[in-house]
Amino acid sequence: MDFRLSDDQIAIQDAARKFAREEIAPIAAAHDESGEFPLATMKRAGELGFMGIEVPDSYGGSGLDTISYVLAMIEISAADASHGTIVSVNNSLYCNGILKFGTEAQKQAWVVPIASGQEIGAYALTEPHSGSDASAMKVRAVKQADGGYIINGSKCWITSGPVAQRMVAFCMTDPDKGAKGITAFLIDTRNPGFSRGKHEPKLGIRASATCSVEFTDYHAGADCVLGEPGAGFKVAMSVLDAGRIGIASQAVGIARAAYEAAVSFSKDRKSFGQAIGSFQMIQQKIADMKCRLDAAELLTLKAAWLKQNNLPFGREASIAKLTASEAAMYITHQSVQIHGGMGYSKEMPVERYFRDAKITEIYEGTSEIQRLIIARAETGLR
């Protein structure tokens, strides 16, 4: 087993760290405060190749491996988790699904503009009455004589929904068949019949714009079906398996930022005449934070390694996401505590890390759903 990174992996890690520290970190607090989508830095992310990291160059991407994607996501999320969310949805949920299930024509038309960063992609699975139980969705697509479909209904909680030009959306085409009656569609949000609804005011990742979207007699041509009709649930779940590696990386990035801030503060802050880092109770927190951070990072890299070597990785992606998101909650919580009153102040980024960490336990499958996936894989029971 070799824990060393390749030259290409070190290069993208360095490039992502430079971009994150010089261009993202300085604007993170202001965008968190205003909730404004960071269009300019996302455009830069596209120019630097971070919007299609694993996408082959022939489809506008950087042609790198999954470990490279993890390394870039960690650096970007350590500077700002909102940027991490947008990058992860673009890479994992949008590009990855079309690369895996799309035709050659679909990859050319639908991946190139997004992986190259000219446009932004989104993923629309959740509905007001179906989140964890995605197969209970109600958005309906009805087949037409020309082979196309008419789509009606609402999706909610769509990351980048307010700005995305394109999205992958999941619709019920045969309600009698339940999960086997779902079909994935490629949606151009500039077409008639698509509109955007309520923006979600959020606890964290506030600059990653989130809204509901509405389909009103939206026409999707037959060439916009992604994968086979009726196989949409499989597409959705397969995309989420890979997506969880991105969310685990985001959690590691947030956790690392909170951990580093805590270590630095514990060396500078004096109490009772000594650095607070010399108190055993603070040292215990730092040791526990470091163990959880390293475990989360290693599990995430393991899941990425399995994926890039075409080995089964679904269970490991869930283990990584569950461990990393809970580590991020623990570490950001302890970091606020180590900072005392300053941990509660908006003058430092620690309270933002704490608010941002929470989402990693919720989206792309809650922690309860991850436990369910892991336990089912272990026991074979449903």
Ligand X SMILES: Cc1cc2nc3c(=O)[nH]c(=O)nc-3n(C[C@H](O)[C@H](O)[C@H](O)COP(=O)(O)OP(=O)(O)OC[C@H]3O[C@@H](n4cnc5c(N)ncnc54)[C@H](O)[C@@H]3O)c2cc1C
- What torsion do the CA atoms of 322, 186, 109, 165 make, to the nearest 10 degrees? -80
Q: Are 98 and 110 spatial neighbours (Cβ–Cβ below 8 Å)?
A: yes
Instruction: Please say if 75 is a catalytic residue.
Output: no
Q: In which element (H, E) is residue 215 found?
A: strand 210-220
Of 286, 362, 374, 377, the one binding ligand X (CB under 6 A) is 362
Of 126, 137, 59, 72, nearest in space to 98 by CA: 59
Of 324, 345, 329, 205, nearest in space to 265 by CA: 345
Any contact of residue 126 with ligand X (CB under 6 A)?
yes
Residue 129 is classified by DSSP as: T
Residue list 192-211, contact with ligand X (CB under 6 A): 202, 205, 210
- What torsion do the CA atoms of 337, 343, 349, 355 make, to the nearest 10 degrees? 60
Residue 160 is classified by DSSP as: T
Instruction: Output phi, psi for 262, to 5 deg.
Output: -65, -45
- Options 12-20, 154-162, 244-252, 274-282: segment touching ligand X (CB under 6 A): 154-162
C-beta nearest to ligand X: residue: 131
Q: Residues in contact with ligand X, total (CB under 6 A)?
A: 21
Of 19, 50, 157, 265, the one binding ligand X (CB under 6 A) is 157
**Interface mask toward ligand X for 128-147; x: CB under 6 A:** ---xx---------------
- Options 94-102, 103-111, 151-159, 185-193: segment touching ligand X (CB under 6 A): 151-159
> Shortest Cβ distance from residue 204 to ligand X (Å)?
8
Annotated catalytic residue within 54, 260, 364, 368: 364
Amino acid at 116: S
- Options 48-56, 266-274, 293-301, 358-366: segment touching ligand X (CB under 6 A): 358-366
CA–CA distance from 308 to each of 32, 53, 242, 379 (Å)? 33, 13, 10, 26
Q: Which residues are catalytic?
A: 364
Contact positions toward ligand X, by CB under 6 A?
A: 89, 123-126, 131-132, 157-159, 202, 205, 210, 359, 362-364, 366, 368-369, 372
